[in-house]
Structure 1
Amino acid sequence: MNRSYCVICNKECKEGTKINNDIICDKCLEKLAHVSLDTCIYEYYKNKIKKVYKQGERNID
């Protein structure tokens, strides 16, 4: 059984939303939903992914 990890917080999640083969847990999705309108949600999401890749914490199954 493959484990799924949130692409933003890198915590294991059993349920979440799948976006372009990446899983986002419900807590992070809730945070993204409440980002102010003058902030581009895509840029926020993209920057979080880059940060995780740089730290080398992303688990690839």
Structure 2
Amino acid sequence: MALKEQAQEVCLVCGQHKTEGIHIFNQLICDSCQKKIVETDVTDWKYKYYMNKLAKLRIGKCKKSLESAVVHAGTGGEAEKH
């Protein structure tokens, strides 16, 4: 039996087609870009570049779902939905 190929998506930061990474509001940030963002110092010129890319996240579609799912920290460190 052949393994099903993963669908490639376009990374929000580098614009390349990738299969692995994190999704923020259903938009992919590939593993490579995620690592670069995390490792970039705020005084580095690249930091502003990455922040400008992240500013393009389309969160308008998800605004309603964010407003209806307020998450509060529980006493034991677990998250509780209210």
- Same fold judged by TM-score > 0.5? yes
Q: So what's the TM-score if we normalise by structure 2?
A: 0.45
Structure 1, unaligned stretches of length 5 or more? Answer: 52-61
Per the normalisation by structure 1, the TM-score is: 0.57
Give distance in 2, aligned partners of 1:45 and 1:22: 15
- Establish whether residue 8 from structure 1 lines up as the match of residue 13 from structure 2: yes
Please list every run of at least 4 consecutive aligned residues from structure 1 whose deviation after the TM superposition is greater than 6 angstroms.
none
User: Residue 58 of structure 1 aligns with which residue?
Assistant: none
Pairs aligned (count) = 49
Gaps of 5+ in 2: 1-5, 57-82
Among candidates 10, 24, 28, match of residue 23 of structure 1 = 28
Q: In 1, Cα distance between the equivalents of 2:40 and 2:53?
A: 13
Higher RCO (CA 8 Å, separation ≥ 6 residues): 1
RMSD of aligned C-alpha atoms?
A: 2.9
Going by fraction, where is strand more abundant, 1 or 2?
Answer: 2
